[in-house]
Amino acid sequence: MKMLDAGAYGIICPMIETAEQAERFVSHCFYPPDGNRSFGPTRAMIHGGSDYPAHSADNILPIVMIETRKALDNLDDILSTSGLGGVYIGPFDLSYALGCTPQADNFEDEIMAAIDHILARARYYNVPAAIHGIGHQFADQMRTKGFNMVTAGCDAEFIRAGASAIINALKPS
């Protein structure tokens, strides 16, 4: 709730494993009668306007992360949560949960099968699907599969790559 009060329009909640957890999370994103978010949008009203509380439900995206075998087992129940704004796949933790090695852009068969399953079920429930990736090849493959949002990298990797490029350019020849 504090992040929403600060002006965030979307919240990604990690480690959601059950419908009950998903419902509780979603309820904290909306004001009554749609949820049980407390009132305190002082900063959100700066950019959202003085009528922010009245229209905030139209703009908030509660997104759950699917990262465990238990979440996969409960996927249909999670995706049928009323008010859910999206599902985000955390492939590193999902790799752990499926007994695979957590690594960037994991193309192992078991991981790809889980990714395809989550995407198919999200489509069935008309829930936007997102996935985290690092490299452009993985990101492009996920985009081609039909994900609504694909992250292609992270801030730490961008900083490392930029710093490495500068250091390499300045090395004596």
- Count of the separate structural domains present in the chain: 1
Residues whose CB is less than 8 angstroms from the CB of residue 163 and which lie 6 or more positions away in sequence, other chains included: none
Range of the domain at 15: 2-170
pLDDT at residue 133 in the model: 87
Q: What is the CATH number of the domain that holds 28?
A: 3.20.20.60
| pLDDT the model gives residue 136 | 86
Distance CA 27, CA 6 (A): 18
| 136-145 helix and 109-124 helix, angle to the nearest 10 degrees | 40
The one-digit pLDDT tens for each residue of the chain (173 residues) are 889 999 999 999 999 999 999 999 999 999 999 999 999 888 898 988 999 899 899 999 999 999 999 999 999 999 999 999 999 998 889 999 999 988 878 889 999 999 999 999 999 999 999 999 888 899 999 999 999 999 888 788 888 888 999 999 999 87
